[in-house]
Chain A
C-alpha cells in the first residue's frame, strides 16, 4: 500500500509536472477546468475589492494602455492573436469570447491588477493606476461590443 502511494506521488511530481511544462496543446477538459478556476478566483477576489473600480474617463487612455500592454498577447482587437498570445501555454485568452463577456468589471479589474500566476498573465499594479486599469477594462468592453 505504502509503496503504491509513494510511486503515485513520484509519478505526479516526476512525470505529470514535466509533461505540463512541455505541453503545447490545450485539451477541452483542461480548458474548461482552467476557465472555471480562473472564474472562481477572480469572482472571489473581485468581490472583495475594497474600492470599486472608478468610472472610465473615456479619453483614449484605456485604448492607449491596452495597445501598449495587452495587445502583444491579446491582439489589437482582443482576439488573442498578438505576437506572443498563441505562443504561451496556456495561450492568451480571447477577450471577445463568451466567458470573458460574462465576467464582471470587478473580476476583469482584479485580473489585470493582480495577474494570474502560472498562466503568463502579468500583474499591472505597479505600472498602472486603478483609474488606468478601470479604463482598460472599459476598452475591453468596447472591443467585445465591436466583435459581436
Chain B
C-alpha cells in the first residue's frame, strides 16, 4: 500500500500519524500566530504571488467548471450581438469591475491598489493565460480572502460570458471603455439614509452602485443613461443584459420607490435633464 519497501510496520504507521498530527497542530499554531500580521501585510513577494496564482487556478479547477458557457455566437468586442443587446459585456464591466480593475483593465481603478491583495492587472500575462472557464469561475464565485466579490447570485450566466469576452477584448487592446462621470462630493452629499424620500433614494442609489454605470443622476452617456423611470422596479428586479439583478434583500420595494423619487426630483445641476 505504502511505497516503502516492505510496507510500514506498526511503529511506522504510528510515527506517520504522529508526524501528520504534529504538522497539522504546528500549522494551526503558526496560522494563529501569523493571522494578526496577515491583516497588516501589504507587499507580496514573488513566491507569495506565484503561490497565490497557482492556488486560484487549483480552486477554480477543484470547484468545477460550473454551468456550460452559452454558445459563442457573439460579438467579440461588445459581448453580445449589438443589434439585440448593445455592449452587455462592457456595461457589466463598467459597473462591476472598473472600480478596482480600471476601465482599461490595467488594475489601476480608483480602489485597485488600495486593497491587499491588490486588483489584478487583467491585461497582464497571467490572466491572459487563464482559460475562459477559470475566469467565469472567478467572476461567479469571487476569491475568498481578497476583495474580489462573487457575482454568481446577481449576474446571469449570459452576462458572465459577455464579461469574459469583454475582458478578452481589453487584453487584445480592443476595449471600448465608456466614460461615466464620477459624482461630485456635493452630489454624494445629497444622500441621507435617514432623510426624506429623495435623500433616502439617493442613499440607496449610491449604495447599490447605480452611479458606477448610470452616473450621479442617471445622466451617463449613451445607452447607460436612465431613459424611462416608469419601469424602474421591473428593470431593477429582472436586470438587463449587462445589468445585475437586485433582490429584495438588497433593495426593498420601498427603497426602489425612494430611488424613483430621487430620479424625479434630482437636483438640477446643469439646467436640463
Contact = CB atoms under 8 A, between A and B. Distances in A.
B38 to A, nearest CB: 5
Interface of B: 15-24, 26-27, 31, 35-36, 38-42, 51, 55-56, 58-59, 62-63, 99, 110-111, 114-117, 141-151, 153-154, 183, 185-186, 188-189, 191-194, 200, 202-204, 206-209, 249-250
Contacts, number: 201
Interface in A104-148: 114-124, 126-127, 143, 146
A124 B191 CA distance: 21
Give the interface size class of chain A: 35 or more
B148 A8 contact: no
A75 interface: yes
Contacts of A124: 114
B35 A89 contact: no
Nearest to B56: A21
Most buried by A among B63, B206, B207: B207
Contacts of A29: none
Contacts of B117: 117-118
Given A20-B144, A84-B209, A4 B40 contact: no
A67 B115 contact: no
A114 B147 CA distance: 15
29 contacts: A3-B19, A5-B22, A7-B16, A7-B20, A8-B23, A8-B24, A11-B24, A18-B55, A18-B58, A18-B62, A21-B146, A22-B59, A24-B144, A33-B35, A40-B36, A63-B192, A64-B191, A67-B188, A71-B203, A76-B203, A83-B208, A86-B250, A90-B145, A114-B40, A115-B115, A115-B116, A117-B115, A118-B145, A127-B114
A117 B19 contact: no
Interface string A15-48: 0111111111000000001000110110011000
Nearest to B36: A41
A4 B36 contact: no
A63 B183 CA distance: 14
Given A17-B55, A117-B39, A67 B191 contact: yes
A90 B142 CA distance: 11
A1 B16 contact: yes
A64 B191 CA distance: 7
Most buried by B among A9, A61, A68: A68
Task: Give the top 9 A-B pairs by smallest Cβ distance, nearest first.
Answer: A4-B19, A8-B23, A87-B149, A122-B114, A120-B147, A76-B203, A83-B209, A64-B189, A71-B207
Given A8-B23, A71-B207, A122-B111, 7 more contacts: A8-B27, A18-B56, A71-B191, A71-B206, A81-B250, A86-B250, A118-B116
A89 to B, nearest CB: 4
Most buried by A among B17, B36, B56: B36
A9 B23 contact: yes
Contact of B147 (A41, A45, A61, A88): A88
Most buried by A among B18, B141, B147, B194: B147
A99 interface: no
Contacts of B16: 1, 3-4, 7
